Structure 1
Amino acid sequence: MSYSPLVQPVVHLAVGYICYALYTRWRTGRIPTETAALVAIAGAALPDLLDKPIWLAGLVDVGRTIGHSLLFAIPVVAAVWLVSRVRGQQALGIAFAIGYGTHIATDIPWHVLSGDFHELGFLLWPLTPMPEYTGTKPLGTVPALEITVTTLWLEAVILVAGIALWRADGYPGTEPIVRAARGE
């Protein structure tokens, strides 16, 4: 298997942050707040935080089950949004929805582009089976250099872009973690 369960999840955090930061700029003209950025990143991490440990422990055969299933994701996102709305913190519900939603959305294109439609079973798991993920997908070749461009190349670009934007924004989302680590 050419799939690394520890590297690719980081790209989801970058995508979640990029999408939430762009939404925030479009909606308010400002960078994300500390808490909302952290919530968006946490939302983007949640599917893998749920699924990867049970896969690595050998409890399931694949790394995309409950956390990646729309049957779980939609009710969870709706519940978080409703609670945030009741508490007058709609921005946090939106941040979570964008983070979680981008994680699921970014797991789809590789299977569609490669024609591995059967690997989309995670979307309705456990109603549909989720076969083993076949790994990195080829996107094309650079004939002059005899190089095959894979999904990992695009993911590397996305990761660098996400880190660059997060840095340019002043690393929002880190302050609550630093305060908690200091016991404040």
Structure 2
Amino acid sequence: MTATVVTLVLFPTHLVAAALVGRATTLSSRWLVVGAALPDLVDKPLGMVGVVELYHSIGHSAILLIVALPLARHSRVGAAAAVGWGSHLLLDALHVVVNGRPGDALFVGWPVVVPSDPLGIPPGSFVLHYLWTPSFFLEVGVWLVLGAVLLEDRIVGR
């Protein structure tokens, strides 16, 4: 249940961050967003039905670089999806490190390395825990950048 709340809080930020990367590069925003969505679309259902114990497992594993790098080298769509996926992993790892739990970032090594004691608190407690943390303010910053970009587009008429 905690993973559901975490997903609802952080998932949209992954999509926004990917779209902003698309604005700053020549990569397809659509495929960046698809790539950024994939880790949670794979792992959360697997965790909810009990296939894996952690909500950061298969889709959040850096071992998928074995698949992502060849796709990225041979197609612009593959490159955009791989960068979006990588941005999701980077933001999730940054989230736990900035909040003082660097050991939890070991999820990127799944299944070779597994965090010893991932944060496991009830959904309501998680929201209260997350508010006013350093990564909460980073997330607010991402949304402010999006707002500034949208405002600029409206003013410039894009």
State the TM bucket, normalised to the shorter chain.
0.7 to 0.9
1:58 match: 50
Alignment counterpart, residue 102 of structure 2, candidates 106, 117, 120: 117
> Paired residue for 2:6, among 4, 15, 27?
4
Q: Which protein is bigger by CA-based radius of gyration?
A: 1
Normalising by structure 2, what TM-score? 0.74
Q: Percent identity?
A: 28
Equivalent-residue separation in structure 2 for 1:136 and 1:129 (angstroms): 24
Distance 1:152 1:113 in 2: 10
Give, in angstroms, the shift of residue 160 of structure 1.
4.7
Secondary structure at 1:4 match in 2: helix
How far has the Cα of 1:54 moved from its partner? 0.8
**For the Cα contact (< 8 Å) 2:97–2:104, is it kept in 1?**
no
Higher relative contact order (CA 8 A, sep 6+): 1
Alignment partners' CA distance in 2, 1:124 and 1:12? 20
Q: Judging by fraction of residues, say which structure has more helix.
A: 2
2:21 to 19, 22, 36: 19
Superimposed CA distance per residue, residues 88-142 of structure 1 (whole angstroms, 9 cap, x where no aligned partner): xx3x233223211111111122322333122012111001113433556979xxx
| 3-state SS of paired residue (1:21) | helix
- Match of 1:59, SS state, is coil
Deviation at 1:71, TM superposition (A): 0.6
- 1:41 is aligned with what amino acid? V
**How many Å separate the matches in 2 of 1:109 and 1:158?**
13
Match of 1:79 among 67, 70, 76: 70
Aligned residues of 2:35 and 2:83 also touching (Cα < 8 A): yes
Change (3 A) 1:167 1:12: farther
1:152 aligns with 2:136: yes
Distance 2:147 2:68 in 1: 25
Distance 1:58 1:163 in 2: 38
Instruction: Pick the structure with more strand per residue.
Output: 1
SS state at 2:103 partner: helix
Whole-angstrom distance in 2 between the partners of 1:163 and 1:93: 28
Deviates more, 1:108-117 or 1:47-56: 108-117
How much does 1:60 deviate? Answer: 2.0
Q: Is the 8 A contact 1:51 1:63 kept in 2?
A: yes
Change in 2 beyond 3 A, CA 1:39/1:138: same
What's the RMSD between the two structures over aligned residues?
3.0
